[in-house]
Structure 1
Amino acid sequence: MFTKIAIAMIGAALIVYLLGKISNALCNSREKAPQED
């Protein structure tokens, strides 16, 4: 029972983390093209 909750929490955290990275990269590439590396 606890393992399912832990797996669900870890999965949700990973999804949020990946979505944040993707949206951050998209915003950065849209706003200021190749200025910061």
Structure 2
Amino acid sequence: MNFEKMHRRTTERRSFAEHQSLKARKGKLHKTRRGQREEFSV
């Protein structure tokens, strides 16, 4: 394993984790708003 490869993977993983957290946050918001869909889809 090359150090560069490992480093690149770690950086990619961190960004991917951040992306996943953002997606999860959006999903949570969507889930909470799903019940009040009528209010939001005005």
Same structural fold, with TM-score higher than 0.5 when normalized by the shorter chain: yes
Flag the structure with more relative contact order, 1 or 2, with Cα contacts below 8 A and sequence separation at least 6.
2
How many residues are matched? 35
Q: Which runs of 5+ in 2 are unaligned?
A: none
Indicate the percent of aligned positions where both proteins have the same amino acid: 3
**CA root-mean-square deviation:** 1.6
Q: Which runs of 5+ in 1 are unaligned?
A: none
Bigger radius of gyration: 2
Structure 1 segments, 4+ long, off by >4 Å, are none
TM-score by length of 2: 0.62
| Greater helix proportion | 2
TM-score by length of 1: 0.67
